[in-house]
Chain A
Amino acid sequence: MPAASATTEPTAERTSRKRGAPPARGAAPGRRRQFTTRRGLLIAAFMAPAAVFVAVFTYYPMLAGSQMAFRNWKMTDLTDTSWVGLKNFRDIVTDPTWGTVLGNTAVWVLGSIVPQLVIGFALALWLRRRFRFRGVYQALVFFPWAISGFLIGILFRWLFNSEFGVVNDLLQKAGLIDEPVAWLADPHKAMAAVTIANIWYGVTFFAIMLLAALQSIPDELYEAAALDGAGKVRTLFQVTIPYIRVTLVLTVLLRVIWIFNFPDLIFGMTGGGPNNQTHIVTTWMIKITQQGDYGRASALGLIVVAMLLVFALFVLLATREKRGTKA
């Protein structure tokens, strides 16, 4: 039964089952043909509501927004919405904030993803084996996920408060600092603080994904490795990591895109301040939108899309590899 085994080996089996699905339905060929029109109608009718909603409220504004990038479109003065070519793009690239924004985005993405991956992987490895209260532990550790990024920003804004913040208090008690640190008033320290908050938030995602992947590794592989006399470290690098390599790569790539696109936390924690020094690309875009310069915000949006397309390409290549090799 191909369908039954689909639950144990999801990806590989599922694609092969699907390719063979229509003939396997068990009906005579004549009967199937008779249903073709009705089948088409059913597909159209079931897809229609989703398609209409997404087309009207997501795709239409997105496309409309793209053409604004080439126009003078300011909410402060809607009388002149003439085409201005690449002016909005030039304005972005020549803005003194742009360099800071790019640097911050790199710090934000890399500074978040690397610790998230390392800690998340460690958590997943250690949560593989059952222990008492493991369920409770998982529930507690996975909780940050239910909280909005914006609210997490607010939470950490309070923790890192320079006068009444508990972080300063704890560091002073531990003797690590003598005086309270004005975390969110200094650009570098503020970037460090928002990145720490994001690590707190994002580790869970890696732990969930990697734990699921680890649990799909057949025991026989470990038994074989043990028979070969492989130690802990060798087993990790020669059995575990190779087996879940594709999930690892995909999770990291998807996460890079997601973190890149994730302004909520910084918005709640510093609002891009002090003095625009903690903006990443997307928080800056929100600021420009709020100032009413839709043309410039859209131009920045298109730049983001172009950057993300490069990443998306990587994602697609990695997915293709997954379909091809793992069987």
Chain B
Amino acid sequence: MPRAEPGALAWGTLRHNRSLRWGAAVACLLGGSLLAMFGLMYWRSSALLFDTLDRSVLEQLELLGARPPELLPFMITSRMKGGPEVLTRVGLFDPARHPVVGDIGLVPDGLVLDGRVHPVLSPDLPAAHWRAAGRTLPDRQILVVARSANEILEVRQKLVNGAVVGIIPAILLSLAGGAWAGLATERRLRRLNAVAERIIAGDLGARLPARDVGDELDRLCTIVNRMLDRLEEGVGALRGVGENIAHDIRTPLTALRARLERAAGRLGPDTPDAEELALSIGNVDRALSIVTALLRIADIEHVRREAAFAPVDLAAILHETADSFRPVAEEGGLSLTATCDTTALVIGDRQLLVEALVNLVDNAMKFTPAGGHVQLRLCGSPTQPILVVSDTGPGIAPEARAHVFDRFYRADGARSTGGSGLGLSLVAAVARLHRFGVQIGTDTPGCRLTLLCWRGSDEMPG
């Protein structure tokens, strides 16, 4: 799977970012509750204001309506002259709806004269919105009291403005907060991923970044780090065991081997006992070479060795190996060819790559009968080079292919012509260290081993 460079955050990954989605959800929730709160406030406050206003309109209507009709015009005019209630207007009309007195010139259109307050839009009045109530007096005159509702409308407008100024930034802020938290988490996860990759590559000393202050992720990192501590200890102990085994086995064997060798020397060559001793020495060496190979594989697998990584010219080591082994092949009646279809510089451990290639070639030659052919080939592309070692031997049965990289596995009697059976395990260990893929297939007839020489090719389907 291709990974985006750190820092280049693709929208695709953000869409699936949990924190970001949470941020958006929180922003929506916050916005919704703010809106609801505002709506309630708006509704309650305007109801209260209208209520107060309506009551004062009705009070005026009651008050004036209760006066004797003959006093009414006078009261209305005097109220108009001195009263502070400029916001309230009163009009008295005769039964034919002609104005008698007051500062309302016309009975507002559509005003039901039922003594209750109604909203009125009147072009006659200086402000557009009024609350008005009217009733027919006992002498059939019509009394109308109206009061401007503009103040309330202004208050309501201010409330709406306030809400717009307050709520929208709040929603934007919480969205931005969510996005920031999401990006921060994304970046942290990226860092964790990078460290995890290093650990997978064998750097057991790497630790996940964990802060002491600790959210859940930090606590998780701390736990993983503690786990890694234990693992590192364990591997260290194992390595120690390996070294001790090496020392404990090799030291007595050194003395034993030397003693056998000197005894053989004293007996002189070509005596039956000396041959017996030479056989024993051979057995000691064989036993030891297995221990050596196992320890070596363990070394490659468990000890960080990327420090030795440097650019390696695959074509060069291919030709060198072919030049070294061609005489051996010819001696055994085989032909050995090397072809390079591409140039390739890979980052790796040259010594180990040579060792792996030598093992592949040695293995191929071992299992190819006289008259056969062993081919080394470098193909693919400079960025994705492929090393192929193929032979014309009997090949490996499909059911056995999965096991050939197992330690000590040998396909069958025909294929076991000596050797520790660890050659291909070593190839696999070297490939794992480099994160190169190894594939085993068949050339009809024969066997074909393929090394995909680019980092990460081990994740490709075999």
Do A and B associate with each other?
no
